[in-house]
Amino acid sequence: MVHSSSQLWAKHIMDDIHVKAQLGRYPLRGFSTFQRVPHFDELVFLSTGLTRVPLEGYKEKCNTRTVIGSRFAKEPLILETPIYISGMSFGALSRSAKAALGKGASKVGTATCTGDGGQCEDERKFSDKLIYQILPSRYGFNPRHMLGAQALEVLVGQGAKPGSGGLLMGKKISAVIAEQRDLPEGIDQRSPTRHPDWFGPDDLSIKIEQLREATDGRIPIHIKLAACRVRDDVKIAAKIGADAIVIDGMQGGTGASPDVMLDHTAIPTMASVTAAREALEEIGLYGKVSLIISGGIRNGADAAKALALGADAVAIGQAALIALNCNKHIPGVTDYPKEVGVEAGYCRYCDTGKCPVGITTQDPKLEARLDPDEAGDRVANFLNAMTMEMALIARSVGKSDVHSLEPEDLAALTMEASLMTKVPLAGTDYRPWENGKKSHGGKKCI
Ligand code: SF4
């Protein structure tokens, strides 16, 4: 006789306990959270009817050009699309993957970001616009590389593992990566969690000034935060001088993280946008400090919804890797069951260095499976398709600029989404968050 399954002690819970009982430690993995959390699918656009006139797709242009960091920087980051590639380290990713991301981003006039571990030569060579990350680890940090960047990003936290440092397993620390990071080859590496030269907002404001002075105030300085106490963090980051703030929600991807951090820390990306926008509105800096959202952005609809809620741009990581070929079976080349133990589509083993498609590996034989030119074309195609989706949505709600999308263009499909975003539930005008207070008052329209 088979008893029905227990909700509390489900099979995957028992498997988890068996693994911990055997290993005596917590499990690690790549990819992103397995939790089912509210996401942008729970919002829809209210396209035109008799109240709004749509734009004609073939005749009327929709602007996607995006300016980031014009608050203080003499040379803000100008992108042809409000989507760029988020920071992923050379080490977590292969050289070919970094080169392909740079090529793809440059083809569509957008930027890539270095991530931990310093600047990969090929990434710099092929990226017209490169954001240089300043991290607690300082692995591979080089002031000359910093001076050559088009923006700086001070990483305070990331959504996949807020409050804990990066991980790079020994199998991925090849001789090249070991030299770049000044680490022993083949030994598991944990990046520090906190920056060694600042401990709080006062110190960080001095650091921001130092970076601004070092770069002659030329390029924007971003602060990247994991989506946790979003309102307070955004206000602090804005007040200490950030040109742009990046909020990374709990759906953010990673090359390696403890399971427990991926699934039980940070708040959903969708919930963070409204909180961040309202925080900037409350201190009068909305529209002055650029707001960038990342964490589980999969398509033009997700990106358009983030912009409608208040973001100026989005950054993509996992989606860009999937465009490179992550989880795709290549006949005659890959054998997922033999190489990682699961079929293509179910691989989450970026931490192992065994990536069947050459993206998250330092094994030369595996890396040879990724052609940077072809992969770069796929990334460019994907970015173009996402941008076109955004423009299509914007036209359908009567907007000639994707930055003119606003919360009033949206309806929520669930109570959770409605309360998190302050967008009324579809078919209702129920606004329990208002309590006599006007919301969405500060959204700029172009
Ligand atoms: S295919 Fe490669 S990049 Fe994708 S999840 Fe597997 S190991 Fe990671």
Regarding the beta carbon of 347 and ligand 1, being less than 6 Å apart is answered: yes
Mutate which of 32, 327, 336, 339 for ligand 1? The one with the most ligand atoms within 8 Å of its CB, which is 327
Residue linked to tokens 């742009």: 244
**What does the alpha-carbon distance between residue 193 and residue 185 come to, in Å, rounded to a whole number?**
22
Q: 254 C-alpha vs ligand 1 centroid, how far in Å? A: 11
For residue 341, how many other CB atoms are within 10 A of its CB?
Answer: 12
Mutate which of 348, 367, 369, 378 for ligand 1? The one with the most ligand atoms within 8 Å of its CB, which is 348
**β-pair type (221-226, 151-155):** parallel
Atom 8, ligand 1: which residue's CA is nearest? 350
Atom 6, ligand 1: which residue's CA is nearest? 347
pLDDT in tens, the chain (446 residues): 666 778 899 998 999 999 999 999 999 999 999 999 999 999 999 998 888 899 988 889 999 999 999 999 999 999 999 999 999 999 999 999 999 999 999 999 999 999 998 999 999 999 999 999 999 888 989 999 999 999 999 999 999 999 988 889 999 999 999 999 988 999 999 888 899 888 899 999 999 999 999 999 999 999 999 999 999 999 999 999 999 999 999 999 999 999 999 999 999 999 999 999 999 999 999 999 999 999 999 999 999 999 999 999 999 999 999 999 999 999 999 999 999 999 999 999 999 999 999 999 999 999 999 999 999 999 999 999 999 999 999 999 999 999 999 999 999 999 999 999 999 999 999 888 887 455 454 444 33
Token representation of residue 294: 């990342």
Rg (CA), the chain: 22
Regarding the beta carbon of 109 and ligand 1, being less than 6 Å apart is answered: no
- How many residues in total does the chain contain? 446
Regarding the beta carbon of 326 and ligand 1, being less than 6 Å apart is answered: yes
Token representation of residue 275: 């909180």
Instruction: Find the DSSP H helices in 265-408.
Output: 269-282, 300-309, 318-324, 336-340, 364-367, 372-396
Q: 357 C-alpha vs ligand 1 centroid, how far in Å? A: 7
Strand residues in 319-361 grouped as ranges (E): none
Q: For ligand 1, what atom is nearest to the CA of residue 324?
A: 3
Cβ density class 377-403: b for 16+ within 10 Å, e for less: bbbbebbbebbebbbbbbbbbebebbb
**What does the alpha-carbon distance between residue 395 and residue 378 come to, in Å, rounded to a whole number?**
26
Regarding the beta carbon of 113 and ligand 1, being less than 6 Å apart is answered: no
**What does the alpha-carbon distance between residue 251 and residue 254 come to, in Å, rounded to a whole number?**
10
Query: Are 412 and 43 spatial neighbours (Cβ–Cβ below 8 Å)?
Result: yes
Query: Are 301 and 15 spatial neighbours (Cβ–Cβ below 8 Å)?
Result: no
Regarding the beta carbon of 323 and ligand 1, being less than 6 Å apart is answered: no
**What does the alpha-carbon distance between residue 343 and residue 340 come to, in Å, rounded to a whole number?**
8
Atom 2, ligand 1: which residue's CA is nearest? 355
Indicate the fold that domain 27-421 takes in CATH.
TIM Barrel (3.20.20)
Q: For ligand 1, what atom is nearest to the CA of residue 321?
A: 3
Q: 432 C-alpha vs ligand 1 centroid, how far in Å? A: 43
| Identity at 75, one-letter amino acid code | E
Query: Are 234 and 276 spatial neighbours (Cβ–Cβ below 8 Å)?
Result: yes
Closest CA to 392 of 303, 320, 322, 311: 303
Query: Are 42 and 413 spatial neighbours (Cβ–Cβ below 8 Å)?
Result: yes
pLDDT at position 336? 97
**What does the alpha-carbon distance between residue 382 and residue 323 come to, in Å, rounded to a whole number?**
7
Regarding the beta carbon of 30 and ligand 1, being less than 6 Å apart is answered: yes
Which sequence spans correspond to the domains of the chain?
27-421
Cβ density class 272-311: b for 16+ within 10 Å, e for less: bbbbbbbbbbeeebbbebbbbbbbbbbebbbbbbbbbbbb
pLDDT at position 49? 84
Helix (H) or strand (E) holding 406: none
Regarding the beta carbon of 350 and ligand 1, being less than 6 Å apart is answered: yes
Q: 152 C-alpha vs ligand 1 centroid, how far in Å? A: 28
**What does the alpha-carbon distance between residue 28 and residue 261 come to, in Å, rounded to a whole number?**
9
pLDDT at position 2? 63
**What does the alpha-carbon distance between residue 280 and residue 274 come to, in Å, rounded to a whole number?**
10
pLDDT at position 1? 62
**What does the alpha-carbon distance between residue 108 and residue 383 come to, in Å, rounded to a whole number?**
7
Residue linked to tokens 């209210």: 46
User: What one-character DSSP code corresponds to residue 95?
Assistant: H
Token representation of residue 336: 């997922």
**What does the alpha-carbon distance between residue 389 and residue 307 come to, in Å, rounded to a whole number?**
13
DSSP string, 2-67: PPPPPSTT-HHHHHHHHHHHHHSS--EEEE---S----GGGEEE---SSSSPPPPTTTS--B--EE
Regarding the beta carbon of 348 and ligand 1, being less than 6 Å apart is answered: yes
